[in-house]
Chains A and B, each alone.
Chain A
């Protein structure tokens, strides 16, 4: 029996993740109205107040009362409940000198007094979540909704999964509000997003169940306009420009010193970085692998930047295509320089251009290294080949600019359970990726990156 349970565990989990609006488990509007009214009227009773909190946040009871999760009760009666999500950090001399998009890591949701109060009381008394769960019991007449649906804490907690679309909330915002596992949607690790928009949407969602005066207090305590929550590796446009200016300065010096080896390495990192921004490629030693990974006249690239499961085919925007074409022209010209000086380097570039070796390779005095893993001392900063800031930054910019986050997930190579973009039943189409690529193109044009080139322009 246990074996059978385990065997189908994953299948059931995946099935449960698909909470479509036509699911028979979704509570009807009438049921929700009756339930929320009852819970609100009785919110002074701890079990119902906490259940109401679960209804409007999607959080489990333990996530609401866990003392490890900070909670603040403001003078106005509004509560701030923080999240458990942990955003990875990175450090390097150049990266540390740049200001990130996120300056404060205190990410929270705002709760109205009718919910904040019972949470505060439960926390004061340090009542374990299990006890609160066992105490919860609806009167017999309310255990089932008008259409006969059984109402449990579990169904209450999952209301947000069905109703989020009513207020334009994304499932990523839902994950944040409900304090779901961050890994439920891998994009959660990458996104920096508007805190105000999140609070507004959450307030809209709460307004489905709570009186307007309660929700209005939340709106008044929403985060300021420019406040962002999320990734600590996402950079602002000025920070990105500062990284590129470091490359520009280094290239200028290399050109003045006629140091073509340094110039090649700097230019290579410049092209790789920009292509990474354009395609959201993770930093890897074999970034973009060989020339043959680009296809259809450089309009598309096949990316494998993690395990095999990271493989994806994404469009390359015009900005990046132009850069890549210039890089190839540069390589051709640079190769000619070596024909009668250094045959090994000549053949190495031949290999790069014919797809027999990586397209991007660091050069030393005697040879071309196989990839960009080992940088020369002058460029040895993790920001160029190890820190995943390109992906975090571009994803965050796109999210802030309201691109479709589900399509962005596909662009970034994040797969959901039961999510098969190539399936005949899928509503996803490649044009959605092209649309994201066009957004990226606009972003890169408006960013005003310096145009570096060691050759003639």
Chain B
């Protein structure tokens, strides 16, 4: 993919969908959002994330989002009918999946810490399709397991991280992910 071959254009909201290969990462982000709303009182819904343009590929006249979907996590009735998007010329399916997961992990690392941050980070790393090496490269942290990487990144002790995981699993059983 030629990263220089991109331009900012306007796209109608109804033309925008998540790229099928970016969907797992997007859905994982949706789950995180609900967990955060459940567990973090500090999260503001009105402006949850720094401003960013959705990155899209143009396929058959529609725009498929591959990253930068933070605006799309909070669909509301007052969402503008037209959004500005960064349109890249093309990306193959494997690239889309990697880009999506890289975006999600990078964004998660920049987010505020909260009661289950380590567990959530660990969960995202487990769910991602990125290889262990790619994750190490992306995060700049080396460790034998993904859980260990999450612990190092969040600077969480083993007992605390296990407690977070059990709390998160309990939340999942209660259905907070939907």
Which bracket fits the contact residues of B?
A: 20 to 34
B18 and A455 contacting across the interface, CB-CB below 8 Å: no
Does the CB pair A343–B175 fall under 8 Å? no
CA distance A456 to B26 in the complex (A): 19
Residue-wise, chain B 141-178 has the 8 Å CB interface mask toward A (1 for contact) of 00000000000000000000000000000001111111
* Cβ contact of A340, chosen from B26, B173, B177, B178, cutoff 8 A: B26
> When the two chains form their complex, are residues B175 and A454 in contact, meaning their CB atoms are under 8 A apart?
yes
Residues of B within 8 A of A454 (CB): 175, 178
Query: Interface segment, A41-49, A230-238, A253-261?
Result: A253-261
Asked whether B175 lies within 8 Å of A341 as measured between CB atoms, the reply is no
Q: Does chain A have a CB within 8 A of B34?
A: yes
The complex places the Cα of A252 from the Cα of B37 at a distance, in Å, of: 21
Q: Is A150 in the interface zone, CB < 8 Å from B?
A: no
Q: Are A258 and B75 in contact, CB atoms less than 8 angstroms apart?
A: no
Number of residues in A with C-beta < 8 Å to the partner?
22
The reply on A263 being an interface residue by CB < 8 A is yes
Contacting B75 at CB < 8 Å: which of A330, A340, A453, A457? A340
Asked if A337 lies at the interface with its beta carbon under 8 angstroms from chain B, I say yes
Contact B34 A456 (CB under 8 A): yes
Q: Are A256 and B175 in contact (CB under 8 A)?
A: no
Q: Which of A336, A337, A343, A453 contacts B17 (CB 8 A)?
A: A343
The answer to whether B16 and A341 have CB atoms under 8 Å apart is no
A337 surroundings in chain B (CB, below 8 A): 27, 30, 178
A339 vs B30: C-alpha distance when bound (angstroms) = 12
Produce 1/0 per residue, B62-90, CB < 8 A to A.
00010001001001000000000000000
A334 within 8 A of B: yes
A interface, by DSSP: helix, strand, loop or mixed?
Answer: helix
Q: Which residues of A contact B30 (CB under 8 A)?
A: 337
Contacts of A311 in B (CB 8 A): none
Within 8 A of B (CB), among A317-356: 330, 333-334, 336-337, 339-343
B17 with A260: CB separation less than 8 A: no
CA distance A252 to B174 in the complex (A): 8
Whether B18 contacts A341 by the Cβ 8 Å rule is: yes
Are B175 and A340 closer than 8 Å at their CB atoms? no
A456 and B176 in contact, given A337-B30, A341-B18, A341-B27 (Cβ under 8 angstroms): yes
Shortest Cβ distance from B23 into A: residue: A341
Chain B contacts of A333 at CB under 8 A?
178
Please, how many angstroms separate the alpha-carbon atoms of A330 and B69 in the complex?
23
Binding site for B on A (CB under 8 A): 251-252, 255-256, 258, 260, 263, 330, 333-334, 336-337, 339-343, 453-457
Interface residues of B (CB under 8 A from A): 14, 16-18, 23, 26-27, 30-31, 34, 37-38, 65, 69, 72, 75, 172-178
7 contacts between A and B (CB under 8 A): A255-B177, A258-B31, A258-B172, A260-B178, A340-B26, A340-B72, A456-B176
Closest 8 CB pairs of A and B: A454-B175, A339-B75, A454-B178, A340-B18, A340-B72, A455-B178, A456-B176, A255-B175
